[in-house]
Amino acid sequence: MSMLSVVGIGPGNPEDMTPRARGALREAEQIVGYQRYLDLIRNEFPDKEYFSTGMRGELERVHYAVDSALGGVKTAVISSGDAAVYGMASLVLEVALEKGIDPGEIEIIPGITAALSCGAILGSPLSCDFAVISLSDQLVPWERIEKRLEAAARGDFPVVLYNPSSRQRKEHLRRACEIIRKWKSPDTVCAVVRNAGREGQESRMMSLAELAAESVDMLSTVFIGSADTVAVRDRMITPRGYQQKYGCLAGGETGHPDRIGSPGLLQQNGREIPNDPGHSQQRNKGRKLLIFGGTTEGRKLAGIADEAGYRVTLSVVSAYGRETAEQAGAPVEILEGRMPETEIRRLLESGRYDCVMDATHPYATHISGSIARAAADAGVRCICIRREIGTGAGEQMIFPDVASAIHYLNSQQGNVFFATGSNAAEQYVKLKDLKDRGYIRILPSETALRKVREAGFRSSHILCMQGPFTEEMNTACFHYADAEWLVTKASGKEGGYDSKVSAAEKLGIRVLVIRPPDYSEKAQICHLEEAEQLIRAGEL
């Protein structure tokens, strides 16, 4: 038999083809492959015989290649990326075996697979363990793909999706996101890279929630980060943990602002932090305060603390949060990006901060838990700002979560109006006679609507509207539902809590309040005014 090699040509650009792959193609007399990939190399190897069949003609191509080699023609079969990753290598080996050829005679030449070429465009999304899954169900039953997606998400692997979509299977990516969402946060950092190393190369980053609504094609590879993955400007980084282990600081003692592992520090607003603002109280001067939350409370506290002479760092999740904070005008350092717990711990352990304040949204439970734990571990004082539950509290029943409120409602009769959002969808299912007695008000988002429909709410019982709501609007909604029960979070005045409760009370509706999560063991719980006083009095 003549030479038969299976060659991974890399993503498509000549620089990313390995010298060994190039050598094999030079040596070959005939190159066999899918038309699109042959076109990527034709210019460089104009004098070769080329053999191609259409998209689904793999088997025919491979038989042809093996037979040609048997007949004495030096043959190379090519795949894009690596030939052994969703490529032709295994098929060539199988067909060779069938034809009685020793598979040891076939040379497999590795190439840079899409996970790596696309990953490099993004930065370093796959720095540790990761999972690669193809969404193509041509050769693998879809149920198995779902199982693997679930396992990878459950293990918090960064996941790379090959074959994310095609004309026949537009829904696959959305469904994959849905499965992954069970285990990963909706703001998990994700990215799509299209045409890596080829004409029209593009990449874009987004959250997992946004990815579900993205339209991607077969020329794209999708990345879904782990809980540690961060987005830093246009880079996607999954830290390996060096900074934590060896304690080198991002921008701190090293004075090097551009180190990985600290999403925010790379996104400082660039303004000078005054060392000795004239108006500072002497007592607080130089004390450093880290505030989490692009909320009204977060911005307000940052301003007050700045005035009181603290050196303030404000951590916000989004560019929007940063903009609003910048508009508020306090000359504070702003960190942008979702910080994983490991990162918060590292930042606090660095000794840069004397105190940390959690002014995140009261139901941002995940981040609040992370802040409280990290601060306790690092021995940094933590103050958690909680909104007032409201005044007319007499008639309200407090529950720790939606599940226990529903458990109670199952012993009662009458229609229930849920103002607790679509995220609790899995709990609503448990309400007895949900179809008849359950009403829900959610944000006008397709995902939210799908979730509550799946939970079993009737279309005519779903109100999609954007708050905040006036008392009149609440009254109209509760009337429409003929509600006897209202289930709501204690979302504070800002969250429209008061106008819900007042409307309910006037209509004689009983209110079930879901208590905000409590971190009192690890953090000191304060209302906004108390926190302001502590700052002003220099008692942090």
Residue 401 three-state SS: coil
With CB under 6 A as the contact rule, the residue among 220, 447, 475, 488 that binds ligand SAH is 220
Distances (CA, A) of 68 to 76, 77, 456: 10, 11, 60
Nearer to ligand SAH, 203 or 350 (CB): 203
**Window of 52-60, 110-118, 254-262, 300-308 that interacts with ligand SAH by CB under 6 A:** 110-118
Enumerate residues 333-352 that contact ligand SAH by CB under 6 A. Answer: none
Q: How many residues bind ligand SAH (CB under 6 A)?
A: 25
Nearer to ligand SAH, 219 or 525 (CB): 219
Helix (H) or strand (E) holding 436: helix 434-437
Nearer to ligand SAH, 139 or 508 (CB): 139
Enumerate residues 446-485 that contact ligand SAH by CB under 6 A. Answer: none
- Shortest gap between Cβ of 208 and ligand SAH (angstroms)? 18
Nearer to ligand SAH, 37 or 399 (CB): 37
Residue 463 has φ and ψ, to the nearest 5°, of: -110, 115
- The residue among 511, 472, 475 whose CA lies nearest residue 490 is 511
Rounded distance, CA 70 to CA 25, Å? 18
Q: Are 233 and 266 in contact, with CB atoms under 8 Å apart?
A: yes
Lateral strand order in the sheet of 202-207: 131-134, 159-162, 220-224, 189-194, 202-207
Helix axes 58-70, 89-98, angle to 10 degrees: 60
Structure tokens at 136: 């193509």
Nearer to ligand SAH, 33 or 337 (CB): 33
**Window of 142-150, 157-165, 268-276, 364-372 that interacts with ligand SAH by CB under 6 A:** 157-165
- Amino acid making up residue 127: S
Distances (CA, A) of 190 to 211, 215, 402: 7, 14, 30
**163 forms part of the interface with ligand SAH (CB under 6 A):** yes
Q: What angle do CA 268, 274, 278 make, to 5 degrees?
A: 150
Q: Are 66 and 4 in contact, with CB atoms under 8 Å apart?
A: yes
Sequence-ordered list of residues with C-beta below 8 angstroms from that of 415, at least 6 positions apart, any chain: 437, 438, 439, 481, 482, 483, 484, 485
Q: Are 239 and 260 in contact, with CB atoms under 8 Å apart?
A: yes
Structure tokens at 324: 């609003």
**33 forms part of the interface with ligand SAH (CB under 6 A):** no
CA-CA-CA-CA dihedral for 492, 496, 502, 505, to nearest 10: -80
CA-CA-CA-CA dihedral for 118, 121, 124, 128, to nearest 10: 10
Nearer to ligand SAH, 195 or 524 (CB): 195
- Shortest gap between Cβ of 200 and ligand SAH (angstroms)? 10
- The residue among 240, 237, 242 whose CA lies nearest residue 225 is 237
- Shortest gap between Cβ of 18 and ligand SAH (angstroms)? 13
- Shortest gap between Cβ of 34 and ligand SAH (angstroms)? 10
Nearer to ligand SAH, 85 or 227 (CB): 85
With CB under 6 A as the contact rule, the residue among 9, 12, 66, 173 that binds ligand SAH is 12
With CB under 6 A as the contact rule, the residue among 70, 218, 429, 463 that binds ligand SAH is 218
Enumerate residues 43-102 that contact ligand SAH by CB under 6 A. Answer: 79-82, 85-87
Nearer to ligand SAH, 195 or 324 (CB): 195
- Mind spelling out the 3-state secondary structure of 346-399? HHHHCCCCCEEEECCCCCCHHHHHHHHHHHHHHCCEEEEECCCCCCCHHHCEEE
- Shortest gap between Cβ of 142 and ligand SAH (angstroms)? 16
Sequence-ordered alpha helix ranges (H) in 218-284: 242-246
The binding track of 174-203 with respect to ligand SAH, each residue x by CB under 6 A or -, is: -------------------xxxxxx-----
**Window of 156-164, 231-239, 291-299, 460-468 that interacts with ligand SAH by CB under 6 A:** 156-164
Q: Which residue is nearest to ligand SAH (CB)?
A: 81
Nearer to ligand SAH, 142 or 408 (CB): 142
Nearer to ligand SAH, 79 or 315 (CB): 79
Residue 512 has φ and ψ, to the nearest 5°, of: -105, 115
Nearer to ligand SAH, 11 or 33 (CB): 11
Rounded distance, CA 4 to CA 69, Å? 6
Rounded distance, CA 444 to CA 198, Å? 39
Residue 505 three-state SS: helix
**224 forms part of the interface with ligand SAH (CB under 6 A):** no
Nearer to ligand SAH, 92 or 501 (CB): 92
Give the bridge partners for 383, in sequence order: 357, 524
Structure tokens at 63: 């038989």
Structure tokens at 168: 């026949």
Structure tokens at 214: 């993205």
Enumerate residues 307-336 that contact ligand SAH by CB under 6 A. Answer: none
Nearer to ligand SAH, 163 or 313 (CB): 163
With CB under 6 A as the contact rule, the residue among 34, 51, 157, 162 that binds ligand SAH is 162
Nearer to ligand SAH, 194 or 386 (CB): 194
Rounded distance, CA 215 to CA 170, Å? 8
- Shortest gap between Cβ of 90 and ligand SAH (angstroms)? 11
With CB under 6 A as the contact rule, the residue among 118, 227, 230, 356 that binds ligand SAH is 118
**120 forms part of the interface with ligand SAH (CB under 6 A):** no
Using CB under 6 A, list all residues that contact ligand SAH.
11-12, 79-82, 85-87, 113-114, 118, 162-164, 193-198, 218-221
